[in-house]
Amino acid sequence: MNAPQSSSAASAASVKLERTFQRFTIGQRWEHAVLILCVTVQLITGLPQKYQSSSWSQWIISSPDRLGQLQQIHHISALLLVAAVLYHLIRGSF
């Protein structure tokens, strides 16, 4: 004859324990988001300048004023990227 299981033994068998680990803090997530955003802006603004003779680049850079705006955005993004990388390296070393 099988003895009936106690309620505590049955509930203990149905409990599934999971260990969770927080991979990044909120600050680290923002830091990586800024890095990704700066690199993306660098690509979007830099590639048309690099390949200015192609038709898709001519469409993006349609006037000298637009080229100036593109270069200004590119330079500001580059400065932010340098600052973010320096912050990332300094924070990672501590």
Taking only the tens place, the pLDDT of each residue in 27-86 is: 889 999 999 999 999 999 999 999 988 988 888 888 889 999 999 999 999 999 999 999
Q: Where are the beta strands (DSSP E) in 3-79?
A: none
Does the residue 91 lie in any domain? Answer: yes
Structure tokens at 71: 């270069």
Domain of 84, in residue numbers? 64-94
Average pLDDT in the 81-93 region? 92
Report the number of distinct structural domains present in the chain.
1
pLDDT tens across 7-30, in order?
A: 555 555 677 788 888 888 898 899
Residue 68 lies in a domain: yes
**DSSP label at residue 53:** T
